[in-house]
Structure 1
Amino acid sequence: MLDAQLVFIATVFMGVLGVGGLAYAAIAPALQKRQQNNKRMNVATGGKRARSARRGGAEVDQNAQRRKQVQETLKELDEAQAARKKKVSMRERIEQAGLEMPVRTFTIISAIVGLVTAGCVMLAGQTPFVGFLTGFAAGFGLPRWTLSFLTKRRLKQFTEEFANAVDVIVRGLKAGLPLHDCIMIIASEAQGPVREEFRELVEGQRVGITLEQGLEKMTHRVPTAELRFFQIVISIQQKTGGNLSEALGNLSKVLRERKVLQGKIQAMSQEAKSSAAIIGALPPGVMVLVYITTPDYINLLFEERMGNAMLIGGAFWMLLGVLVMKKMISFDY
């Protein structure tokens, strides 16, 4: 009886093993194929992730390197600008005014103006000391004031035309022209100081001066913020690459917005400027009217020592007030 039970259990066990073996034989290839597919997928995914990680790391390194180059370029330009601001030579001031004369000629003209003024004052009956002081003031101050006036007028003309020049360069770049050809178009078609400066830039490139060096010299002759922005954009694009037409397009937009802002500031500050002009003109105007109507009444200020001291003190306080009002109505943009 016991032997029959053992035989039955062994038979069932063998049957189960046989059925399991047949089932494993049927299912094993599919499982093996699935495992191989999963392994291949893991390998492919891992390789793709590794490549993505390497590519991402390369992009990060490239962006970091480009950012570093941009920072170094801006630092170099800032250092050059700070070095130029320390001292401006007379030759550079003459170039900024748009004049073509050596420093020696300017010095001779200043001396002639001073001598002529001193001679006229002494011929009018004044003492040689007064003539010397007047001649020195005229010879030293009048030519330099003229240079300053011509420089401001020239820089204003350049700024008004420069935005149009940048627009021409942007359209030329979008049309497929190289930057050098766009600059040549500005050198021949622009107006006023812009044409002269870009013509100087083109002539410099013909004799071997690089574009960056030419722009650096141009910023010496035209020290405006707009041209400095242009120089920064060109310098960064040449060192780090990028879409130059897009960068210059953004620059042109900024320049026009600055021009609009300048107009708004002038309109809003015009009332303050008119008030300052009226207040500044009242004392000398009243003095002239009193001198015309009753000269004996005001002659005491010129004849008496106390009157002279009062005139000097009044002129000092008047000058101080004018400078304060000028500072109050001057805006940076």
Structure 2
Amino acid sequence: MNMQPLALAFLATAAVGGIAWVFVYPMLSGEKKAENRRASVAKSEPVAARQSQKDQRSRREQVEGTLKEAEARRAKDSKVTLTTRLTQAGLEWEPRKFWIFSCILGAVGFAGAMLAGGGTLGAVGLGFAAGFGLPRWVLSFMKKRREKAFLRALPDAVDVIVRGIKAGLPLFESLKVVAADSPEPLRSEFAAIIETQAIGMPLGEACGRLFERMPVPEANFFGIVIAIQQKSGGNLSEALGNLSKVLRDRKKMAEKIQAMSMEAKASAGIIGSLPPIVMLLVYLTTPDYISLLWTHPTGQLMLVGCVIWMSIGIMVMKKMINFDF
């Protein structure tokens, strides 16, 4: 039997069927009409959808611009002036008054060391520490204490603003409520925002300047949220509600870290206090034995070395047990 005609007939049938599948079947099954409908729908896409995508892109660009401005401001304010530090500590002093107070402390320290017979070198060192180091340490202590008080009250203040906005109050009126009823230093900071806005500065920029007077990340978050909402709009109550949740979570994390690091802090305190305590006990029991440390030149050198190494060890332990988040 000759198979060639059958093979040719099979190939011809397959070719005709393929051509019919490609060209005829779409018309009969309605696929061509469906494609035409999809094309017409794509051509007649609502302008609102394209406008929404454009608005989302614009909003993203505004958010990125605001974040870049905040980073630039933070980099610019990395070198804080003395006037700003006094403001951050809650003092209404002028730099001149601070310098006069520092000079008085330095003179008192120098005179006290000279009267106690500490020598010229010791008196100069004590005067420098009292006039230059002590005022700045007190300033830093007051600044940190004020920041902690601000962070304790900020989540509640944000909740008050959220409830005011949901009740129909404008943002400016909600800020007035916070400035009237909040404890210090939150009251004075929000009062400064209201005063700054009252003289013509935009509210977003006025809230952004809160970070200059209160340099904590939470204040920066608040200023960024308000600035973004003022520029691009959006649901402010929802944004501030999320901010309040973030602030409370950060507070919980800080307290958890503090609790977990208390054991290490206690160990560091015991280790750091053992040498001076032992030195004091030995001096009380046998003063002639340990007095060689400050009467003999070799003992004085050893004492200076011990103080230096102890200071380095304490700083290393403090760096190890202080956690930033």
Deviations along 1:150-184, whole A, 9 cap, x unmatched?
00100000000001000000111111110000000
- Give the match for residue 70 of structure 1: 63
1:183-332 equivalent positions in 2, closer than 5 A:
183-332=175-324
Which of the numbers 115, 118, 125 marks the counterpart of 2:117? 125
- Give the match for residue 97 of structure 2: 105
Q: TM-score, normalised by structure 1?
A: 0.84
Task: Verify the 8 A CA contact 2:154 2:186 in the aligned structure 1.
Answer: yes
Deviations along 1:174-213, whole A, 9 cap, x unmatched?
1111000000000000011001111111122222232233
Alignment partners' CA distance in 1, 2:235 and 2:47: 26
Q: TM-score, normalised by structure 2?
A: 0.86
Alignment partners' CA distance in 2, 1:112 and 1:212: 43
Task: Verify the 8 A CA contact 2:210 2:223 in the aligned structure 1.
Answer: no
- Give the match for residue 13 of structure 2: none
Task: Verify the 8 A CA contact 2:208 2:224 in the aligned structure 1.
Answer: no
1:18-33 equivalent positions in 2, closer than 5 A:
none
How many percent identity over aligned positions? Answer: 50
Alignment partners' CA distance in 2, 1:285 and 1:42: 89
- Give the match for residue 175 of structure 1: 167
Alignment partners' CA distance in 2, 1:312 and 1:131: 16
* Structure 1 residue 304: Cα displacement: 1.2
Alignment partners' CA distance in 2, 1:67 and 1:212: 17
SS in 1 for 2:52: helix
* Structure 1 residue 59: Cα displacement: 2.1
Give the direction of change, closer, same or farther, for the CA distance of 1:223–1:286 in structure 2 (3 Å limit): same
Cα root mean square deviation, aligned:
1.9
Alignment partners' CA distance in 2, 1:66 and 1:313: 60
1:29-178 equivalent positions in 2, closer than 5 A:
48-52=41-45, 54-85=47-78, 87-178=79-170
SS in 2 for 1:192: coil
Alignment partners' CA distance in 1, 2:278 and 2:184: 42
SS in 2 for 1:242: coil
* Structure 1 residue 124: Cα displacement: 1.9
* Structure 1 residue 281: Cα displacement: 0.6
Q: Please identify, of 249-258 and 113-122, the stretch whose mean Cα deviation from structure 2 is larger.
A: 113-122
Deviations along 1:228-267, whole A, 9 cap, x unmatched?
0001111111111111100000000000011111111111
Runs (5+) with no aligned partner, structure 1: 1-40
Alignment partners' CA distance in 2, 1:231 and 1:217: 7
Runs (5+) with no aligned partner, structure 2: 1-33
SS in 2 for 1:185: helix
Task: Verify the 8 A CA contact 2:210 2:220 in the aligned structure 1.
Answer: no
Alignment partners' CA distance in 2, 1:295 and 1:317: 24
* Structure 1 residue 46: Cα displacement: 6.1
* Structure 1 residue 47: Cα displacement: 5.7
The number of residue pairs the alignment matches comes to 293
* Structure 1 residue 50: Cα displacement: 2.6
